[in-house]
Amino acid sequence: MIRIQGVLVSPGEGGVYGERTIGDYRVWDPYRSKCAALLLLGGEIDLTSSMRVLYLGAANGTTVSHVADYVEVVYAVEFAPRPMQDLLEVCRRRKNIIPIMDDAGRPDHYACMVEEVDLVYQDVAQPDQAGIALKNAIFLRPGGTLVLMLKTRSVDIRQSPQDVLDRTVEVLEAGGLSVREVRWLEPYHRDHAAIICEALK
Ligand X SMILES: C[S@@+](CC[C@H](N)C(=O)[O-])C[C@H]1O[C@@H](n2cnc3c(N)ncnc32)[C@H](O)[C@@H]1O
Residues forming the site for ligand X (CB under 6 A): 33-34, 57, 59, 62-63, 77-80, 83, 103-105, 123-126
Minimum CB separation of residue 68 from ligand X in Å reads: 12
Pick the closer one to ligand X by CB: 62 or 152: 62
Q: Is 123 annotated as a binding residue?
A: yes
Minimum CB separation of residue 52 from ligand X in Å reads: 18
Q: Is 62 annotated as a binding residue?
A: yes
Cite the DSSP H helix spans in the chain: 34-40, 62-70, 81-93, 107-110, 129-136, 152-155, 161-174
Contacts (Cβ under 8 Å, ≥6 apart) of 76 = 55, 58, 61, 64, 87, 91, 97, 98, 99, 100
Minimum CB separation of residue 70 from ligand X in Å reads: 15
Strands (DSSP E) along the chain, which ranges? 2-4, 7-10, 21-22, 25-27, 52-56, 73-78, 97-101, 117-122, 140-151, 178-184, 192-198
Pick the closer one to ligand X by CB: 45 or 178: 45
Pick the closer one to ligand X by CB: 106 or 200: 106
Q: Is 63 annotated as a binding residue?
A: yes
Pick the closer one to ligand X by CB: 62 or 168: 62
Contacts (Cβ under 8 Å, ≥6 apart) of 26 = 9, 10, 11, 12, 15, 16, 19, 20, 65, 66, 69
Residue 187 β-bridge partners: none
Q: Is 104 annotated as a binding residue?
A: yes
Contacts (Cβ under 8 Å, ≥6 apart) of 83 = 58, 59, 60, 61
Minimum CB separation of residue 180 from ligand X in Å reads: 21
Pick the closer one to ligand X by CB: 131 or 178: 131
Which residue of the chain is nearest ligand X when measured via CB? 57
Q: Is 124 annotated as a binding residue?
A: yes
Q: Is 164 annotated as a binding residue?
A: no
The closest alpha carbon to 64, from 90, 44, 82, belongs to 90
Minimum CB separation of residue 21 from ligand X in Å reads: 18
Q: Is 103 annotated as a binding residue?
A: yes
Binding residues for S-adenosyl-L-methionine: 62-63, 78-79, 103-104, 123-126
Binding residues: 62-63, 78-79, 103-104, 123-126
